Structure 1
Amino acid sequence: MLLARFSTADDPTPRIGRIDGDSVQELDAAGDGLTLSALLHAENPAAFVQSLGAGPVHSLGAVRPLSPLDVQEVWAAGVTYKRSQVARMEESEAAADHYDRVYSADRPELFFKSTAARVVAHGGPIRVRADSDWTVPEPELTLMISPAGKIVGYTVGNDVSSRDIEGENPLYLPQAKTYDGSCALGPYVLLAEEPLKPAETTIELLIERGGAEAFRDSTDLSQMKRSLEELVGWLTREYSIPDGAALMTGTGLVPPGQFTLENGDAVSITIAGIGTLRNPVERS
């Protein structure tokens, strides 16, 4: 079951709806509207959605996509794919050994990525920092986690990263990863009614420049070294998430060499079964 958080041209109030082909049907919780927090707090989100009343139906082309968060924090995991390990070692000679060791360590790399208010929705602009000369998109399956630490859904994420800033010194990671326009999520949430099939959960990255393809590559979830449950377990080990959270699970797709995003580019990330997150690029 696919859900979308959206607003309409007539009413900017966020609402949640169920996707059905090219339309979205609003869901209503006892006439009081529905928040993502309420959904994440439900013992069985899928059953909770099924129990809700049905509201108006809208064409997807007529609604404004919103990020799939209302108050949740966004966290991210790093170096969970072999390709990401190699890329991090290439960008930072001084810290190459650190990235090599974190790939094989029991404890994963986890870092804070964004507040809900800063998350860019489908169609909104992602940004390149003015002080970065090497910025790339990082396509990532993103987990929607309940306050109890249960995976209740999945969405598409773009962990935009300034590779030159991170490569200069690993202690600059927060500046390389966390800034306005560096995190995009959406357009839909796939409720976790059954476990994902890793080999069938493909992730594709397309970067367009001047209307032409500049880079395209794909991978699948079977290439991840760590399990999704393992990452959630580490995030919630000593950290409570009373409103739930979103957790980006790392990337296995990295553009080659010194390829960098430029003003006017368009980035599309497609995850099988969830949808395509597309964002234009702006350089501040």
Structure 2
Amino acid sequence: MLNLPEGGMFVGRAWRRGIGPAVVTVRGADVVDITTREAPTMRDLLEQEDIPGFVESIPGEVIGSLDGLAQASVEATGGITRLIAPVDLQAVKACGVTFARSMVERVIEERAGGDPARAEAIRARVAEVIGDSLRDLVPGSDEAAEVKRLLQKEGLWSQYLEVGIGPDAEVFTKAQAMAAVGWGASVGLHPISQWNNPEPEVVLAVDSSGRIVGATLGNDVNLRDVEGRSALLLGKAKDNNAAASLGPFIRVFDDSFSIEDVRRMELSLTVQGEDGFVLEGQSSMSEISRDPADLVAQARGRHHQYPDGFVLYCGTMFAPVLDRDAPGQGFTHHLGDVVTISAAELGSLTNTVRLSTEAPEWTFGAGALMRNLASRGLL
């Protein structure tokens, strides 16, 4: 199930039958609706100066048990009461190539032109030249510049290495506001993709001033063949129906949880296929090449503002190479795979893999949210 730790403050969103979206928190074994005129959206809640104090001050209404809502949320359709993504008006942004291990795999994807059959030989060649030389580099440092020079000399320089060890991080739009899916929902693969994988990530919640206020889990669904053909296809590879998963809740920073805990976080991933295939992996935030606070600073500043705040996928070191269908083909999803991403501090996020054309269509956007809240007297 959700596996939430005891003691933390968790906030999120639920869809209530006959009512619409609600801002919620977890109290014991219950999910409590804390939607108010002061905070009718998650955007407004996360703008509060003292978020824990504000949440605790609202009596709220119990709308169901945590386990009950979790069960109701598994590939739910229609208007039933269920958990949904814990963000609403926030922009959904992501950083790529922030770990040395995944950095090398991005180079391999590029060299293979999106063809998994060519990846094995290229992986051996790249490893022979690069090895672990990137692991301890500080992006943008003099040492990183020297590694760049050496790799260029070997003919192995790549745009992925540029954002991995150069001064500028890769920051892109993962999904439109209101488009992310939550715990139990289907996650979508574009039908053109034949080589793809989940990406288990910590996702930071950031308010409009740039203050990091909490964290959640995310699956930055990745189409390796599409992006591998050309980095200019990043939008097609990353932003599709149901391709951004977040949840189950945002854990708010308080006396028990801070950015230091995020920096030490260990993520685990399990993929369970209907064919009996099981894949397990890990991602350790302690091995990230760029500090999470630096990623936020590169996303938001005088150069770019987010008046409704944003959430930021921090990247992953997970890049599966285990063969699934044939030797040398590596891993790719099968429809029906159940993906679970877990961290002791944040609980677990579970989704089922479908085609983006088969996942429920995204129909409830910012306009629909505003009309709904206005009809309920919350605006």
TM-score range, shorter chain: over 0.9
Instruction: Find the counterpart in structure 1 of residue 343 from structure 2.
Output: 271
Q: How far is the alpha carbon of 1:200 from its aligned partner?
A: 4.4
Instruction: Find the counterpart in structure 1 of residue 5 from structure 2.
Output: none
Instruction: Find the counterpart in structure 1 of residue 305 from structure 2.
Output: 240
Q: Is 2:216 the counterpart of 1:151? A: no
Instruction: Find the counterpart in structure 2 of residue 231 from structure 1.
Output: 295
C-alpha separation in 2, matches of 1:204 and 1:174: 27
Alpha-carbon contact 1:15-1:35 (below 8 Å) kept: yes
- TM (norm. structure 2) is 0.70
Q: Is 2:66 the counterpart of 1:60? A: yes
C-alpha separation in 1, matches of 2:352 and 2:308: 30
**Partner of residue 24 from structure 2, selected from 17, 29, 49:** 17
Q: Is 2:122 the counterpart of 1:50? A: no
Q: How far is the alpha carbon of 1:214 from its aligned partner?
A: 1.9
- What amino acid is aligned across from residue 280 of structure 1 in structure 2? T
**Partner of residue 95 from structure 2, selected from 77, 81, 88:** 77
Instruction: Find the counterpart in structure 1 of residue 33 from structure 2.
Output: 26
Q: Is 2:166 the counterpart of 1:102? A: no
Task: Pick which of 86-95 and 58-67 moved more.
Answer: 86-95
C-alpha separation in 2, matches of 1:39 and 1:14: 14
Task: Pick which of 45-54 and 160-169 moved more.
Answer: 45-54
What secondary structure, in the 3-state scheme, does the structure 2 residue paired with 1:242 have? Answer: coil
Task: Pick which of 87-96 and 67-76 moved more.
Answer: 87-96
C-alpha separation in 2, matches of 1:211 and 1:156: 26
Unaligned runs of 5+ in 2: 1-8, 70-81, 114-155, 323-329, 358-379
Instruction: Find the counterpart in structure 1 of residue 129 from structure 2.
Output: none
- TM (norm. structure 1) is 0.92
C-alpha separation in 2, matches of 1:168 and 1:154: 32
What secondary structure, in the 3-state scheme, does the structure 2 residue paired with 1:116 have? Answer: coil
- What amino acid is aligned across from residue 15 of structure 2 in structure 1? S
Write out aligned runs for 1:132-281 (5 A): 132-193=193-254, 194-198=258-262, 200-210=264-274, 212-237=276-301, 238-256=303-321, 258-281=330-353
C-alpha separation in 2, matches of 1:150 and 1:171: 31
Q: How far is the alpha carbon of 1:199 from its aligned partner?
A: 6.5
Task: Pick which of 150-159 and 12-21 moved more.
Answer: 12-21
Q: How far is the alpha carbon of 1:198 from its aligned partner?
A: 4.9
C-alpha separation in 1, matches of 2:297 and 2:10: 25
Provide the alpha-carbon RMSD of the alignment. Answer: 2.0
Post-superposition Cα deviations, 1:142-166, rounded to whole Å, max 9, x if no partner, equal 0111000110111111111111011
Q: How far is the alpha carbon of 1:57 from its aligned partner?
A: 5.3
C-alpha separation in 1, matches of 2:187 and 2:318: 18
What secondary structure, in the 3-state scheme, does the structure 2 residue paired with 1:92 have? Answer: helix
Name which one, 1 or 2, has greater alpha-carbon Rg: 2
Change (3 A) 1:96 1:129: farther
Q: Pick the structure with more helix per residue.
A: 2
- What amino acid is aligned across from residue 225 of structure 1 in structure 2? S
- What amino acid is aligned across from residue 272 of structure 1 in structure 2? A
C-alpha separation in 1, matches of 2:34 and 2:277: 38
C-alpha separation in 2, matches of 1:197 and 1:69: 21
Q: Is 2:359 the counterpart of 1:282? A: no
- What amino acid is aligned across from residue 20 of structure 1 in structure 2? R
Q: How far is the alpha carbon of 1:275 from its aligned partner?
A: 1.3
**Partner of residue 10 from structure 2, selected from 2, 7, 25:** 2
Task: Pick which of 199-208 and 81-90 moved more.
Answer: 199-208
C-alpha separation in 2, matches of 1:53 and 1:220: 37
Q: Pick the structure with more strand per residue.
A: 1
Task: Pick which of 18-27 and 213-222 moved more.
Answer: 18-27
- What amino acid is aligned across from residue 197 of structure 1 in structure 2? D
Instruction: Find the counterpart in structure 1 of residue 126 from structure 2.
Output: none
C-alpha separation in 1, matches of 2:278 and 2:265: 24
